[in-house]
A and B are shown apart, each in its own frame.
Chain A
Amino acid sequence: MNGFMDIWRPTRIGVNEVVRRTIGPLTLWLRRITGEWHLATQRIPEDDAGPAKAIAEPPEGEWLRWAAGDETSMFRLYPLMPDLPVVIRPESAFAVPPTRQAMLFVSIPIWVRITAGAETRFVLREEATVALPRTWFGEYDAGELCYMLRTRARRTLAAADVRPHRAICPVRVANGWTAPLEFDRLCIHAAHLAVYTAQDQLWTNEVRVTFRGPDAPSQVDYAEGAPTAETITGILGEPRTPATRSLLQRSFAGLWGLKQS
């Protein structure tokens, strides 16, 4: 098995054969026996992930099992965005002047959807490549559960955390208000993002967030199609939830955000 794209291609697996795939910190093993599919996974700390650290053997006794017919021997992995919104923080505090915009590059760890079958696929499981901590975005009496990204959003692509198990999400922040926009947290509903490939790197479609004032929800637009920043070779993962053309969501948190009591 070699090549970044080989991980995401349909693969045939024989009876009693075990196939191992490593996507960053996540290693998964698939095994097919007569009438059943078996799956085992293991995750190591992200900072320890690397080719030399790949886990050879699955953990003992931790196989998940699915009853399935023998009509298919194909399986396929798909990269997906996380199942909750993600909260990101810019690498350093900065302000966006009125009517201006700023570009951020966010590195989001992907989830992997494991499917079996060819024409008619069924989903065995979804696994996160990185166990992200959960956080609350909103007020004490209303808000939403999100993942907190530990890596910061960068102003340049070169500074972004580029790794095979992370997708780069371009975020364009526009200030449609009359005062400078200062924020230290930004919430992105990643379920609306698709995953594309470009030169062995994963990308998502661009997100445009327009700030309309501290008392109004922001206008969020998810670009249709691949980002223009890179030469995209194809789409790998569909959005979990197709986005409507424009959404109104609370996206920013700054001085008016959660305050400790």
Chain B
Amino acid sequence: MWTLAAISWEDVFKGATVRTVIVAIAIAVVGYVLLRSLSALVGQLARRRLTPQATMLIRKLIFYVGAVILLIVVLQQLGVDLGALLGAAGIAGIAIGFASQTSLSNIISGLFLISEKPFAVGDWIRVGHYDGYVLSIDLLSVKIRTHGNQFIRIPNETLVKTEVVNISRFPIRRTDIMVGVAYKENAARVLDVLFDAAHKSPFVLEEPKPEIYMKSFGESAMEFFVGVWHTREDWREVRNTFPQDIKERFDAEGIEIPFPHRSLYAGATTPPFPIRIVRDDAPSTTPPPEAK
């Protein structure tokens, strides 16, 4: 504030009279209205050819540049000596520059996002822990709406510095499911059943062909990889119905999905541990059978 206190405001506004003030106010009002109209008109024309983000940028650019010019005209009308103000503005500019580093970084990052177009309004993106639909791409931040209907504001600088996954960029997607099958089952038959389940699902595309294969020998089961293709619009139907389809087919075919289990051995050649099955109606003091 000491910079403003150092200015002699009487000297700055020495050329102002009642008449010039009225004219200055009129110029400001008319100029503001014209500026808003011009910005809106350019925005309408740009919207036909450019993305909404680029249109927003052009509108804001025209408006703010025009506002600065309008301010200069109004100040000159008031007889302001601009030289005195520029000196103070220079020092204030340095202070503002330091204070607005983050905002400037976000603005510049926003320009990069607009030019690079990694995503657009309406896309489903994932950034870090968050994923949702893009509501708007603004100068300082991007707003998304999560599936739980939460509003999240992500600074543009964060988006430029981190990985962004655009889940809905391409028209088709693959949903991957891992299925564990008991070791006693015939792997070839399991593959046939999985392919048939994919073939019968109304949401799974015939082509690209499903990718289904035995991926690994797990601790408790044979692990099968099931990757089925679908349109991006059908992801929810596939997620909700296809695992159920697999389960129903396995049940119909008698294919077991085992629980995780462990086999316990006392040693390499010892018999299994003895166990005693207690009936629900047996008294708790029933002695165990004698060990043989």
Please report A residues at the B interface, Cβ cutoff 8 Å. 87, 131, 133-137, 140-143, 145, 148, 258, 260
Q: B209 near A136 (CB under 8 angstroms)?
A: no
Q: Confirm or deny: B206 has a beta carbon within 8 angstroms of a beta carbon on chain A.
A: yes
Q: B171 near A143 (CB under 8 angstroms)?
A: yes
Q: Which residues of B contact A260 (CB under 8 A)?
A: 208-209, 211
Q: What band does the interface of chain B fall in when counting residues whose beta carbon is under 8 Å from A? A: 10 to 19
Q: Which B residues between 164 and 208 are near A, CB-CB below 8 angstroms?
A: 169-172, 199, 202, 205-208
Among B199, B205, B211, the residue within 8 A (CB) of A136 is: B205
- A258 to B207 alpha-carbon distance, docked (Å): 8
Q: Confirm or deny: B124 has a beta carbon within 8 angstroms of a beta carbon on chain A.
A: no
Query: Who on chain B is nearest to A257 by CB?
Result: B207
Q: Confirm or deny: B133 has a beta carbon within 8 angstroms of a beta carbon on chain A.
A: no
Q: How far is the CB of B205 from chain A (nearest CB, A)?
A: 5
Q: Which residues of A contact B206 (CB under 8 A)?
A: 133-135, 148
- A96 to B217 alpha-carbon distance, docked (Å): 47
Please report B residues at the A interface, Cβ cutoff 8 Å. 169-172, 199, 202, 205-209, 211, 229, 231
- A94 to B169 alpha-carbon distance, docked (Å): 36
- A148 to B207 alpha-carbon distance, docked (Å): 9
Among A87, A136, A142, A145, the residue within 8 A (CB) of B208 is: A136
Q: B170 near A141 (CB under 8 angstroms)?
A: yes
Given contacts A135-B206, A136-B205, A136-B208, 6 further A-B contacts (CB under 8 A): A133-B205, A135-B205, A135-B207, A141-B170, A145-B231, A260-B209
Query: Who on chain A is nearest to B209 by CB?
Result: A260
Query: Who on chain B is nearest to A185 by CB?
Result: B207
Q: B208 near A258 (CB under 8 angstroms)?
A: yes
Q: Which residues of A contact B199 (CB under 8 A)?
A: 133
Among A131, A136, A142, the residue within 8 A (CB) of B207 is: A136
Q: A142 near B171 (CB under 8 angstroms)?
A: yes
- A142 to B206 alpha-carbon distance, docked (Å): 16
Q: Which residues of A contact B205 (CB under 8 A)?
A: 133-136
- A137 to B172 alpha-carbon distance, docked (Å): 11
Among B170, B202, B211, the residue within 8 A (CB) of A140 is: B170
A to B CB contacts below 8 Å, 6 in the list: A133-B199, A133-B205, A133-B206, A134-B205, A134-B206, A134-B231
Q: How far is the CB of B229 from chain A (nearest CB, A)?
A: 7
Q: Which residues of B contact A140 (CB under 8 A)?
A: 170, 172, 208
- A18 to B38 alpha-carbon distance, docked (Å): 65
Q: How far is the CB of B16 from chain A (nearest CB, A)?
A: 63
Q: Which residues of A contact B172 (CB under 8 A)?
A: 136, 140, 143
Q: How far is the CB of B103 from chain A (nearest CB, A)?
A: 36
Q: A136 near B229 (CB under 8 angstroms)?
A: yes
- A134 to B169 alpha-carbon distance, docked (Å): 20
- A258 to B202 alpha-carbon distance, docked (Å): 21
Known: A136-B229, A140-B172. A131 touches B202 (CB 8 A): yes
Q: Which residues of B contact A87 (CB under 8 A)?
A: 207
Q: Which residues of B contact A258 (CB under 8 A)?
A: 207-208
Q: How far is the CB of A42 from chain B (nearest CB, A)?
A: 16
Counting chain A CB atoms within 10 Å of each CB, the highest count among B172, B206, B207 belongs to B207
- A57 to B208 alpha-carbon distance, docked (Å): 39
Q: How far is the CB of A150 from chain B (nearest CB, A)?
A: 9
- A122 to B207 alpha-carbon distance, docked (Å): 36
Q: Which residues of B contact A135 (CB under 8 A)?
A: 205-207
Query: Who on chain B is nearest to A144 by CB?
Result: B171
Q: Which residues of B contact A143 (CB under 8 A)?
A: 171-172
- A133 to B202 alpha-carbon distance, docked (Å): 7
Q: Which residues of A contact B207 (CB under 8 A)?
A: 87, 135-137, 148, 258
- A71 to B21 alpha-carbon distance, docked (Å): 75
- A218 to B284 alpha-carbon distance, docked (Å): 83
Q: Which residues of B contact A134 (CB under 8 A)?
A: 202, 205-206, 231
Q: How far is the CB of B79 from chain A (nearest CB, A)?
A: 62
Query: Who on chain B is nearest to A134 by CB?
Result: B205
Q: Which residues of B contact A137 (CB under 8 A)?
A: 207
- A143 to B229 alpha-carbon distance, docked (Å): 14
Q: How far is the CB of B119 from chain A (nearest CB, A)?
A: 15
Q: Which residues of B contact A136 (CB under 8 A)?
A: 171-172, 205, 207-208, 229, 231
